[in-house]
Amino acid sequence: MKSTVLSENKVSGARWLVFGRDPEKPEKIIDTNQYLIATRNQAMLLDPGGIEIFPAMLSAVIHHTPLENITHIFASHQDPDIISSLGLWDRTLPQAKLHCPWLWEGFVRHFGCDNVEFVPIPDEGSTMKLDGLTLQFVPAHYLHSSANFHVYDPESKILMSGDIGAALEKGDVPMFVEDFEAHTAHMRYFHQRWMPSNKAKNAWIKRVRALEIDIMAPQHGRLFQGDDVVRFLDWLEALDVGIALDDEAQAEAA
Amino acid sequence: MEITVSKQKTGDDFYVAAVTIAATLDKVIPVAENISLGAMNTMALTARAEQSARGFRPITDFMQELANDVRRLTGDVNRVALEVSRTSLSEVRAAQSRDKVAEGQKRAGKAEYAASVRQPLAGLEREVQSLRDRLREYLYTLTSLLDEIDQRILAAISFATVARTEAASLGTSGGQFDAMAVDLNNSAEQVRSMVASCRTLLRAHQTASN
Ligand SMILES: [Fe+2]
Ligand SMILES: [Fe+2]
């Protein structure tokens, strides 16, 4: 599994890393990006992924931080590609806290959560501290999951955006978007089909436009940097989502 | 340094076998009810036949006791089988976790913080071993319970033989007693075959996991 340093703050020591593009991943499993934020003495795994990629993820992580430093795990929502590895992390990081939307507690616990402490994130979002670094859990409900959060780091100006900004591309693609227009072809269907609500989408765009973002880091596919972040927000704003309902309406009318 | 993990085969699908055993032995309950009913009928017959059938009193007492024992032992088997199932599942899950962590460690090679995996891995190994020990204890209890049922059943079969001899000594009036004794024998054989199939299932898994 590849790991790339996204940012490194020389003063605070905070680092963002992305893990993914595992060449040994079983073919039919959707490729995912996992993130790690490490400060001097602590670290948090963001959407650590499914059971299948756990060994690769564990082996990648210990190149960058000792396990005992990983005191926090974040799960943006309840999907298996996000957090079905929980039962394994639960045994590997028994001292860790899991930050997860409150709505999913009873569901996510089915993955196994005997040692890790479940910290519910309220609907309005919250903040947490990793050493001296304050991180924000930004609400992204119904995008696509009905209780869903993104993580914003105002110091590094990185927004981990979960399934928003996801692209379905095959193979070992570059870490960052290089040609935004071309990239939209890989994102369109995903957003139209997985995201259910234009209202939720527009509320999120409004919220996110108020943040200063250098890197937008989705859970699938390439990351966005610089002007591509605003390009993405504009593109998403113009996109109609929830298309399965349109198809249904058309079928009914026919 | 890598922690060496035990390569011994795990409890596999004991969790399925154990619940199958519990389900099989559940079918013993109506047989026990039948024995109990037989005991009551025989008691009524004994009362009517008075002196000539007094040899049947201890037999009816035995049948009643047997029915109660079988019911109680079946309940115990059920409880222990559930523990076997739970423990086996936990053991399988712990062993899988341990293997995945060990795989991660192996893949990491000489990663800077590879040593930090040692402690959780050792913990998982201990957990697997202790679950395996507990599983072994539950399996031993389960086997002992099946043995106990078997002992009762063997006694029932010899009681049935004695009862048939008693019935024959009653001459023509012994027909109904003989039918009861045959019934007891059949019930006992039914239980015996159910216990035997449970034992076969258990043994198949025990050899697979050794
Ligand atoms: Fe998802
Ligand atoms: Fe996803």
Domain presence at residue B87: yes
User: Nearest Cα to B42, choosing from B161, B163, B165?
Assistant: B163
A62 and B94 in contact by Cβ < 8 A? Answer: no
Locate the domains of chain A by residue range.
Answer: 2-253
Q: Residue A103: pLDDT above 90?
A: yes
| Record: contact A91-B116, CB cut-off 8 A | no
Question: At CA B137, angle to CA B135 and CA B141, rounded to 5?
Answer: 115
> So what's the pLDDT on residue B32?
87
What pLDDT was estimated at residue B22?
Answer: 85
Could you tell me if B110 lies within 8 Å of chain A, comparing CB atoms? no
Whether residue A1 has pLDDT greater than 80 = yes
Q: Do A62 and B104 touch (CB under 8 A)?
A: yes
Q: Please check whether residue B69 lies inside any domain of the structure.
A: yes
Ligand nearest to the CA of A30: 2
**Residue B177 domain flag:** yes
* For residues B64-92, average pLDDT: 91
Written as one letter, the residue type at A105 is E
Q: Which residues surround ligand 2, an ion (CB under 5 A)?
A: A 81, 163, 219
Phi–psi pair at A72, nearest 5 degrees: -140, 145
Residues of A in contact with B93 (CB under 8 A): 87, 112
The reply to whether B33 falls in a domain is yes
Please indicate whether, in this complex, the C-beta atoms of A62 and B117 are within 8 angstroms of each other. yes
Give the pTM.
Answer: 0.85
Subunit contact B104:A55, Cβ cutoff 8 A: yes
Select the residue of B97, B100, B113 nearest A62 (Cβ to Cβ).
Answer: B113
Q: Which structural domain, as residue segments, surrounds residue B102? A: 14-209
**What pLDDT score was predicted for residue B59?**
86
- The string of pLDDT tens digits covering residues A232-247 is 999 999 999 998 887 7
How many domains does chain B contain in total? Answer: 1
What would the two tokens of residue B170 be?
């009653």
State the DSSP code for B64.
H
Do residues A34 and A46 lie in contact, with contact meaning Cβ atoms separated by under 8 Å?
yes
Give the pLDDT score at B12: 60
Ligand 1 centre from A145 Cα, in Å? 6
CATH superfamily, domain at A2-253: Ribonuclease Z/Hydroxyacylglutathione hydrolase-like (3.60.15.10)
Higher pLDDT, A150 or A168: A150
